[in-house]
C-alpha cells in the first residue's frame, strides 16, 4: 500500500497547520491513556488511533452551532470542539465535573454547550437523532447541516436503513459518515455484508454517496467542506464511506489477535498523523522546531488537566439526586377547564387536544403512518394537514424505531414531538429507542426527551394478536418514562395536554374500543389534568375496586348490576406515576380490594399494586388482595375466543367471591 498523496488545493498554511494540531491532540491523548491503562488508572478505552483524520476532518468543516453525533472512537470530535481536557478526563474517570455525573462511561454522553450528541451502545438510534436534529433546522429554514458517525458494523442494523430512508424521503441535510475500519469488534467485513462498498447502498435510497480515503486529512477536509457548503444551500442527505483501519482492538481489553499482522503492516504505512506530518515538513509548512512546540504545548495541557482531575474528589452518591435526575423537573401547569362543554366521543377529545396543542406550540410536530391527508388509521388527525401543513403533520415510512429516535432529535433541537403508533402492538419495533434512549437521556446527561408516544391499544374489536394488545407493562417497568391510560373523554383531553406540556417522555395509551363508544360532556377550551392523581368514580365502604382503561367501564357495568355493593371505584388514569396515597387511603377504609386489568396477569400493574398494598396496608385488610386479568395467552381473533380471553366476565364472579370472604 502506498503512502498518502496530499492535495492542499487552496488551503492556507494556517489551515494546514491547524488541521495538524487537531490531528496531533487526540493521538497524544490516546498515547497517554494507553500508558494509564497499563498502570491501572483508566478502566476502559476505545481507541481511535489510525482514524483521527475522519473525526477531525468532519468536525472541522462544520460550523460551531451545527450538531455532530460521534461514536466511541471519535475523540477528535470532542477535542476539535475544544472541550476542556479536564472535563473529558473527569468524564472518563467518573468524576462530578464530567458530563454524566458518573452514570455513564467514555463517550456515552452529549453536551448542548458544544453541540455534540453522544451515542448509546445500541448504535443505530444515533442516526435517527441526526434526522430529527436536521428536520428541526429545516423546519426553521436554517441553513445548517448535521453530521453523524457510524461504523461498518452498525450498517447491518435496521436503524441504518430506516434513518437513511427517512432522510432521503424528507430531504434532510444529514451527512452520514461510515467509518469502515474493517472490523465490527472481531467480525471482518466479508462476514458482515456482500456489496463491494457500503457507499453503493446510497443509490438504493436515491442518495448521493462518496468513498473517501479516511486516513488522508486533506482529502477528507476538502471533499466534506465542498459537500457541507452545497448541503447548506441545497438541503439533502449524503452518504460517505471512509476507508480506514483500526490500529488497536475494539477496546483495549479485547486485543487484536484476530487481525492478521499483514493488515497492521499494510495500514501502518498510511498512518494519518505521521504521513501528514511528513508532507508538511517536506513542503516547508511545518518545521521540526514548530512540531516540537506543538507537542510540548499539548503535552503540558494533557498533564496539567490530568493532574487537575486526580485532585478532584470521587463522586459522592446522593440518593435524592439520583432519583431526582430520572426525570426533568417539571411543575404542572394547571389550566382550569371552562364551564362551557360539549358532548363528544373519546376519539374527539384526543383530536381536540392534539389540535389545541398544535395551536399552542408552533414548534410541535406530529409524526406517524398515514396521519396526514388520510387522517390516521382512526381519523384522529383528519383535517390537520389543512390546518397545520405537512411540515408539522408528517406521514412516516413504516419504521417505528427511527421515527422515535427522530422525535428525540427534534426534542434536542428545540421541538416537541408526538409520535402515533398506528397500533400499540407495533411499538415493539420501536422499543429500543423508547426504553434505552428516551427513558435514559435525562438521567445520563440531563437532556430531556420532549416526546409523547400515542398508543391505540386494547381488545374488544376482534382485531387479533397483533392489533389488540394492551402492553403498558412493557413501559411502566422502565424508569424515566411516564405512562398514562385514560378511560373517559374528559381525562383523555386533559391528560394528553399535560403529556404534551411535560418535557419528559410520555407513553399515552388510548383504548380503541372506547374511541367511539364512550361520550361525555367535555370542556370546549384548553385544560390540563395532573399526572399521578386517580379519579374516584364512585365511593363506598365495602370494597375498593381499582382499574384503568376499558376495565373501568367493565367495573362500572358490574357494579350497576349489583347496587347492593358499596364500592370505591378508582380509575388510575396515570400508571407512572401512581397515586399511592389515595389508593392506600381507600383500602384502609374498605378493608378489601380487587384490581382489574386488561393485560395478562403476570408482571402487570395489578401485581405491583397488589404487592404495594400488602406491604403498606396489611393490617387493614379483611381479605387477600384479588387480581383479575386476561388469560395467559396471546389475544385471539374470534369473538367468543376474545370474550373468553378478556377478564370482564370473570371480574363479576371474583368480586362476589371477595365480598363473601
Which residues carry out catalysis? 467
CA distance 90 to 148: 25
CA dihedral 225, 230, 236, 242 (to 10 degrees): -30
By CB atoms closer than 10 A (0-12, 13-18, 19+), residue 144 is buried
CA distance 412 to 414: 6
CA distance 305 to 415: 36
The alpha carbon of 178 is separated from its chain's Cα centroid by a whole number of angstroms, namely 21
350, containing H or E segment: helix 346-360
CA distance 658 to 661: 5
Give which of 50, 54, 45 is closest to 178, Cα–Cα.
Answer: 54
SS3 string, 531-598, reads: CCCCEEEECCCCEEEEECCHHHHHHHHHHHHCCCCCEEEEECCEEECCCHHHHHHHHHHHCCEEEEEE
- Provide the 8-state DSSP code for 613: H
H-type alpha helices, 484-529: 489-501
CA distance 602 to 564: 32
Task: List 209's β-bridge partners, or say none.
Answer: 239
CA distance 184 to 178: 12
Dihedrals φ, ψ of 645, to 5°? Answer: -65, -45
User: Which residues, in sequence order, are CB contacts of 583 under 8 Å at separation 6+?
Assistant: 534, 544, 546, 570, 609, 613
CA distance 333 to 436: 28
CA distance 143 to 228: 10
User: Which residues, in sequence order, are CB contacts of 506 under 8 Å at separation 6+?
Assistant: 451, 452, 453, 481, 482, 483, 484, 499
Task: List 451's β-bridge partners, or say none.
Answer: 417
- Provide the 8-state DSSP code for 502: S
Packing angle, helices 288-310 and 85-93, rounded to 10: 50
CA distance 189 to 257: 16
Is the peptide bond between 295 and the residue preceding it cis, with omega within 30 degrees of 0?
no
CA distance 82 to 115: 11
Amino acid at each position: 500500500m502506498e503512502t498518502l498523496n496530499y492535495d492542499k488545493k487552496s488551503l492556507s498554511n494556517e489551515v494546514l497547520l491547524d488541521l495538524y494540531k487537531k490531528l496531533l491532540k487526540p493521538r497524544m491523548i490516546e498515547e497517554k491513556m494507553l500508558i494509564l491503562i497499563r498502570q491501572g488508572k483508566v478502566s476502559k478505552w476505545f481507541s481511535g488511533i489510525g482514524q483521527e483524520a475522519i473525526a477531525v476532518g468532519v468536525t472541522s468543516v462544520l460550523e460551531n452551532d451545527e450538531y455532530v453525533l460521534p461514536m466511541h472512537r471519535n475523540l477528535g470530535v470532542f477535542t476539535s470542539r475544544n472541550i476542556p481536557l479536564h472535563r473529558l478526563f473527569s468524564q472518563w474517570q467518573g468524576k462530578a465535573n464530567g458530563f454524566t455525573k458518573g452514570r455513564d462511561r467514555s463517550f456515552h454522553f452529549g453536551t448542548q454547550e458544544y453541540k455534540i450528541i453522544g451515542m448509546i451502545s445500541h448504535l443505530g438510534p444515533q442516526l435517527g437523532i441526526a434526522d430529527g436534529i436536521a428536520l428541526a433546522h429545516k423546519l426553521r429554514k436554517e441553513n445548517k447541516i448535521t453530521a453523524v458517525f457510524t461504523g461498518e458494523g452498525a450498517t447491518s442494523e435496521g436503524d441504518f436503513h430506516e434513518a437513511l430512508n427517512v432522510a432521503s424521503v424528507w430531504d434532510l441535510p444529514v451527512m452520514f459518515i461510515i467509518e469502515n475500519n474493517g472490523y465490527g469488534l472481531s467480525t471482518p467485513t466479508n462476514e458482515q455484508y456482500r456489496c463491494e462498498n457500503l457507499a453503493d447502498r446510497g443509490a438504493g435510497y436515491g442518495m448521493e454517496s462518496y468513498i473517501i480515503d479516511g486516513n488522508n486529512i486533506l482529502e477528507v477536509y476538502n471533499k466534506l467542506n465542498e459537500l457541507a457548503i452545497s448541503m447548506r444551500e441545497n438541503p439533502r442527505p449524503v452518504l460517505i464511506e471512509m476507508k480506514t483501519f483500526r490500529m488497536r482492538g475494539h477496546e483495549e481489553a479485547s486485543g487484536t489477535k484476530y487481525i492478521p499482522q499483514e493488515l497492521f503492516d499494510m495500514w501502518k504505512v498510511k498512518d494519518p498523523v505521521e504521513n501528514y506530518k511528513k508532507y508538511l515538513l517536506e513542503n516547508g509548512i511545518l518545521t521540526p522546531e514548530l512540531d516540537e512546540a506543538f507537542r510540548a504545548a499539548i503535552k503540558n495541557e494533557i498533564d496539567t488537566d490530568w493532574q487537575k482531575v486526580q485532585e478532584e474528589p470521587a463522586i459522592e452518591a446522593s440518593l435524592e439526586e439520583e432519583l431526582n435526575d430520572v426525570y426533568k423537573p417539571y411543575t404542572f401547569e394547571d389550566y382550569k377547564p371552562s364551564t362551557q362543554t360539549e358532548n363528544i366521543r373519546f376519539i374527539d377529545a384526543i383530536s381536540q387536544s392534539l389540535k389545541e396543542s398544535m395551536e399552542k406550540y408552533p414548534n410541535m410536530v406530529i409524526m406517524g403512518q398515514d396521519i396526514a391527508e388520510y387522517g390516521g388509521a382512526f381519523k384522529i388527525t383528519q383535517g390537520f394537514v389543512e390546518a397545520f401543513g405537512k411540515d408539522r403533520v408528517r406521514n412516516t415510512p413504516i419504521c417505528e424505531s427511527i421515527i422515535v429516535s427522530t422525535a428525540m432529535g427534534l426534542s434536542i433541537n428545540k421541538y416537541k414531538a408526538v409520535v402515533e403508533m398506528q397500533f400499540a402492538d407495533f411499538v415493539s419495533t420501536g422499543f429500543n429507542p423508547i426504553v434505552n434512549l428516551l427513558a435514559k437521556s435525562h438521567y445520563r446527561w440531563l437532556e430531556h426527551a420532549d416526546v409523547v408516544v400515542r398508543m391505540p391499544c386494547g381488545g374488544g374489536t376482534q382485531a387479533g394478536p397483533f392489533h389488540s394488545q394492551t402492553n403498558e407493562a412493557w413501559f411502566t417497568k422502565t424508569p424515566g418514562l411516564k405512562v398514562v391510560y385514560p378511560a373517559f373523554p374528559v381525562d383523555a383531553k386533559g391528560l394528553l395536554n399535560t403529556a404534551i406540556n411535560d418535557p419528559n417522555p410520555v407513553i399515552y395509551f388510548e383504548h380503541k374500543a372506547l374511541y367511539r363508544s364512550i361520550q361525555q360532556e367535555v370542556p370546549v377550551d384548553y385544560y390540563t389534568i395532573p399526572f399521578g392523581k386517580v379519579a374516584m368514580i364512585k365511593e363506598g365502604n365495602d370494597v375498593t375496586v381499582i382499574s384503568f382503561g376499558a376495565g373501568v367501564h367493565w367495573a362500572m357495568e358490574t357494579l350497576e348490576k349489583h347496587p347492593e355493593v358499596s364500592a370505591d371505584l378508582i380509575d388510575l388514569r396515570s400508571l407512572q406515576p401512581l397515586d399511592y396515597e389515595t389508593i392506600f387511603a381507600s383500602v384502609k377504609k374498605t378493608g378489601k380490594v380487587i384490581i382489574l386489568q386488561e393485560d395478562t396477569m403476570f408482571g402487570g400493574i395489578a401485581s405491583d399494586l397488589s404487592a404495594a398494598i400488602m406491604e403498606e396496608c396489611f393490617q387493614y385488610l379483611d381479605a387477600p388482595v384479588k387480581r383479575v386479568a386476561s388469560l395467559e395467552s396471546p389475544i385471539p381473533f374470534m369473538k367468543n375466543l376474545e370474550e373468553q380471553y378478556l377478564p370482564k366476565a370473570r371480574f363479576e364472579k371474583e368480586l362476589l367471591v371477595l365480598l363473601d370472604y
